[in-house]
Amino acid sequence: MRISVIGCGYLGAVHAAAMASQGHDVIGIDVDPVRLGALREGRVPFHEPGLEQLLSEGMSAGRLRFSTEIADAATAQVHFVAVNTPQRLGGDEADLGYVEAALRSLAPHLAPGALVVGKSTVPVGTARRLAPLLAGRAELVWNPEFLREGHAIDDTLRPDRLVYGVGDEPESAERARVLLDEVYAPQLATGVPRIVADRETAELVKVSANAFLALKISFINAVADVCAATGADVNLLADAIGHDARIGRRFLGAGLGFGGGCLPKDIRAFGARAAELGEDAIGSLLREADRINLGRRHRAVELLRTALSSQPGAATSVDGGGDLRGRRIAVLGLAFKPDSDDIRDSPALSVATELALLGAEVVAHDPHAVPKVRIARPELTCVDTADEAVVGADAVLVLTEWREYRELDPAALAATTPARLVLDARNCLDPAAWRAAGWDYRGLGRHEQPVGALVA
* CA 176 to each of CA 117, 189, 429: distance values in angstroms, whole numbers, following the listed order: 9, 18, 49
Question: What is the crossing angle of helices 51-60 and 10-21, to 10°?
Answer: 50
35 marked among binding-site residues:
yes
Catalytic residue (choose from 227, 262, 382, 428): 262
**H or E segment and range at residue 78:** strand 78-81
Query: 262 catalytic, yes or no?
Result: yes
User: Is 259 annotated as ligand-binding?
Assistant: yes
Q: Find out whether 46 is annotated in a ligand binding site.
A: no
Contact 254, 444 (CB under 8 A): yes
Which helix (H) or strand (E) segment is 387 a member of?
helix 386-390
Of 65, 83, 60, 63, whose CA–CA distance to 9 is shortest?
83
* Kind of pairing between the strands at 162-166 and 194-198: parallel
Residue 206 among known ligand-binding residues = yes
Rounded to 10 degrees, what is the CA torsion of 119, 51, 385, 303? 20
Contact 131, 167 (CB under 8 A): yes
Residue 125 is labelled as binding a ligand: no
265 is in an annotated binding site: yes
Any binding-site annotation on 372? no
252 is in an annotated binding site: yes
Residue 279 counted as an annotated binding residue:
no
- The response to whether 148 counts as a known ligand-binding position is yes
Q: What are phi and psi of 394, to 5 degrees?
A: -75, -20
What is the residue type of 79? H
Q: Is 147 annotated as a binding residue?
A: yes
Would the annotation count 100 as a binding residue? Answer: no
Residues placed in the known binding site for substrate: 146-149, 206, 251-255, 259, 337
Residues placed in the known binding site: 30, 35, 85, 121, 146-149, 206, 251-255, 259, 265, 337, 344
Residues with a catalytic annotation lie at 262
Residues placed in the known binding site for NAD(+): 30, 35, 85, 121, 149, 265, 344
